[in-house]
Structure 1
Amino acid sequence: MTKIFTAAFAYMIAGVLSGLFYREFTKANDFPSGDFTQLGLVHTHLLTLGFIVLLIVLALDKAFDLSGTRMFTWFFATYNAGVIITSATMVWHGSLTVLGQESNAMISGIAGLGHISLTVGLVLFFLLLRKRVLAASAARQSAPEAAGLSR
């Protein structure tokens, strides 16, 4: 649980700093305030996918004892890699936009790998969560029978 909390805290800090970077970088480069750049999205992506999602995972870990399993380790590594890769490519692409340079297919491909990693991580998480929820449900149903309290 400590790893989840630490990662959520790190994403909160990174999310806030990315918002600061967006504001200062665009201002320093005289980027028009109404024009689109992916730098403006990094802030919300880090706060939502990193901070908020991991706080939810922390609460679910407390309720269903998810961490400590091999599937959780795979989820945690894959999901965090996806958040980091996706966010980094957004910063890269957004910075190029602010500097008036063109992005390329390589950046899009790397961003795609980040999104795939996020998806795989979420699927792993839901498979693990489903397993634990079903086990908890079965344990609750068998508890009254084991105590001789069946209906």
Structure 2
Amino acid sequence: MKKLYWAALSYTVLGLIAGLYYRELTKAQGFTGDTQLSVVHTHLLALGMLFFLVVLALDKAFGLSGNRLFTLFFWFYNSGLVVTAAMMVVHGTMTVFGAESSAAISGIAGLGHILITLGVIHLFLALRKVLPGQRDGAEADAAKVG
């Protein structure tokens, strides 16, 4: 449970820094257009801080963190969110400076989204495993036969 707390706290700090970076960079460059930097702040706070606080509550209620599926969720989701947010910062910064974006940035961001998706799938599998009234596959098969 402590790693969920630290993850939520880390994303809170990163989200606040991202908001500050957006405001100060665009102000310093006199930029007034649209940039992905404007949404990094909210992405980190919603998909990072809020999401991990909800998962922390689920862990407290159901003891999620004690299995391999949960560990896979944690690492897939975190790596995906970090990659996605980093690519948003890179792309947004390039926009502010007037540089052309590249397909590689979009591709890497897509990989980040795939990792987030894998993380969410593992979270649901871990949650299904610990919900009351759920049985392992072997027990369910034995119940069908008997």
TM-score (norm 1): 0.87
Look up the match of 2:6. 6
Aligned pair partner of 1:137 in 122, 133, 143: 133
Within 1, Cα distance between the matches of 2:101 and 2:79?
22
Q: Which runs of 5+ in 1 are unaligned?
A: 140-151
Contact 2:58 2:64 in 1 (8 A): yes
Deviations 1:55-79 (A, max 9, x none): 0000000011000211111110000
Identity, % of aligned positions = 56
2-structure distance, mates of 1:40, 1:26: 10
Q: Which amino acid aligns with 1:115?
A: H
1:69 aligns with one of 60, 64, 67: 67
SS in 2 for 1:37: coil
Q: List per-residue Cα deviations over 1:80-110 (Å, max 9, x = no partner).
A: 0011000000000000000000101000000
Task: Give structure 2 stretches of 5+ with no counterpart.
Answer: 136-146
Q: Which residue of 2 aligns with 1:31?
A: 31
> Of residues 114, 117, 126 in structure 2, which corresponds to 1:116?
114
Deviation at 1:138, TM superposition (A): 5.3
Task: Say if 2:80 and 2:113, in contact at 8 Å, map to a contact too.
Answer: yes
Counterpart code for 1:6 = W
Please report how far the alpha carbon of residue 53 of structure 1 lies from its aligned counterpart in structure 2 after TM superposition: 0.3
Counterpart of 2:37, as a letter, is: L
Tell me the secondary structure at the aligned position of residue 125 of structure 1. helix
* Aligned counterpart in structure 1 of residue 89 of structure 2, from 91, 109, 113: 91
**In the alignment, what sits opposite 1:18?**
18
2:5–2:56 Cα contact (<8 Å) kept: yes
1:58 corresponds to which residue? 56
Counterpart residue identity of residue 83, structure 1: L
Q: Deviation of residue 131 (structure 1)?
A: 1.5
Bigger mean CA deviation after superposition, 115-124 or 66-75: 66-75
Distance 1:130 1:110 in 2: 31
Distance 1:72 1:100 in 2: 42
